[in-house]
Amino acid sequence: MTQVRNFSIGGPVLEVQNISLRFGGVKAITDTSFKVLMHEIRAIIGPNGAGKSSLLNCINGIYKPQEGKILFKGEVLDRISPNIIARKGISRTFQNLALFKRMSVIDNILVGRRLHMSANFLQVAFQTPAATREERENRERCEEIVDFLEIRDIRDTPVGRLPYGLQKKVELGRALATEADVLLLDEPMAGMNVEEKREMCRFILKVNDELGTTMVLIEHDMGVVMDISDNVVVLDYGKIIADGPPEAVRTNQNVIDAYLGVAHD
């Protein structure tokens, strides 16, 4: 983190308070609380099945936790659907790629601009000046993202035909296009080689530095986590076992035990 940050880390923007989530008998998350600070890069780590993705799914409204609440900018996000939560300023990427497969790269990114476009279907059908201006401005914005992510050569390719790593990049682009205040990134670097990971880190850091976007990212690669995150939450069996700066978390005995697979009592 050698770049200069335009935004210094502030107070809590997202507060997860005592949430529990069950699927039948499976306890995915148990009484979990933590806070994400404004403009920070927050990593969530933990072994497979720890409940990391479920946590993100709770935050953006895909899962409804049975207990607890989630506050965003002081407002409770309760039982509202993902599209309303997106409106409030939370966007995301998915662990198992959730791109619009038959649409081109640029069209995928354009969908990320959804909330910046307000022309209704009649305005679009009749190509009113407002609708065409809005379309043009948002396309220009997406072209900037295409350039930023260095994916100009694939901009018209249907994303379903792209290799995995590029699809991950496009999904990041779509999330960036939303210009949300908080981005939830579920393993954005999974399946990438070292080069690609480094590149991805560069993008994430740059966006955070320049735009101040708060990032909550799930990542298994400890090197990456240590490098880019301001704070780390460690989940194990649906519970938080550590929360703090990367150096502190790395030396935490609970964390070491969890990763070494020490038996629970």
3-state secondary structure of 72: strand
By CB under 8 A, the residues from 38 to 97 that bind another protein are 60, 62, 81-83, 86-87, 91-92, 94
CA dist., res. 82 & res. 67, Å (int): 18
Asked whether the beta carbons of 176 and 207 are under 8 A apart, the reply is yes
Residue from 23, 74, 195, 264 in contact with ligand ATP (CB under 6 A)? 23
Q: Rank residues 73 and 250 by Cβ distance to another protein and give the closer one.
A: 73
The two beta strands, 214-218 and 41-45, are: parallel
Q: Does 164 bind another protein (CB under 8 A)?
A: no
Q: Rounded to the nearest whole angstrom, what is the least distance from the CB of residue 188 to ligand ATP in the complex?
A: 13
Alpha-carbon Rg for the chain, nearest whole angstrom, is 19
Site for ligand ATP in 51-80 (CB under 6 A): 51-54
Amino acid at the residue 12 = P
Q: In whole angstroms, how far apart are CA 91 and each of 62, 171, 195, 197, 265?
A: 12, 11, 26, 21, 38
What is the rounded distance in angstroms from the CA atom of residue 158 to the CA atom of residue 156?
A: 7
Q: Map tokens 């809005």 to a residue.
A: 134
Tell me if 158 contacts ligand ATP by CB under 6 A: no
Contact residues for ligand ATP, defined by CB under 6 A = 23, 26, 28, 46, 48-54, 95
Contact residues for another protein, defined by CB under 8 A = 60, 62, 81-83, 86-87, 91-92, 94, 98-104, 106-107, 110-112, 114-115, 117, 119, 121, 124-127, 131-132, 135-136, 139-140, 143, 147, 152, 155-156, 174, 178
